[in-house]
Structure 1
């Protein structure tokens, strides 16, 4: 089964738990990025807070950049979980 195939998340109980954990992490990062951008936007209304606002924008950008990384790592782990039989066969003496 190829990477990013929707059926991977339902392979077994372990894959469902892994999927859920990564979805929670993905959503938390999403909320963190949105929060950072909203706070940074408000800070830009005040000249004294513009530097701090710029940092919040940078933090939000880094969090948004982390999202595809979370998805890729999740998919690679699910891919490995689906190939257990192949891996076992490969390493038999």
Structure 2
């Protein structure tokens, strides 16, 4: 088992696959955070849309909170993968 946040641990096919999956999730999360903030900013120009705009900002903030959570989950998942030679 590799140490968490260890940049030099072995890069196996399974590790690259897991890393790629989390990177896709991380990018999708960033996209939604930006989208919520953009939509909220546009809505803020209209008095009648202030409440939904505030909810957009809140949802965008939740997505920003998910960023480090996704990274920690990725590192934890990768750390649980067996290293080459561990099965011997």
Q: Same fold (TM over 0.5)?
A: yes
Query: Is it true that 1:81 corresponds to 2:72 in the alignment?
Result: no
Aligned to 2:66: 66
For residues 1-93 of structure 1, what are the structure 2 equivalents within 5 Å?
A: 1-8=2-9, 11-82=11-82, 85=86
Task: Give how far 1:25 is off.
Answer: 0.2
> Residue deviations 1:63-85, cap 9 Å, x none?
11011111001000111114583
Figure out how many residues of one structure are paired with residues of the other and give that number. 86
Task: Give how far 1:3 is off.
Answer: 1.8
> Residue deviations 1:14-60, cap 9 Å, x none?
00000000000000000000000000011100000000000000000
SS at match of 2:3: coil
> Structure 1: 5+ residue runs without aligned partners?
none
Superposed structure 1 runs of 4+ greater than 4 Å apart: none
Please give the root-mean-square deviation of Cα atoms over the aligned residues, in Å. Answer: 1.9
Task: Give how far 1:4 is off.
Answer: 1.6
Between the aligned partners of 2:82 and 2:75, the Cα distance in structure 1 is: 10
Between the aligned partners of 2:68 and 2:82, the Cα distance in structure 1 is: 21
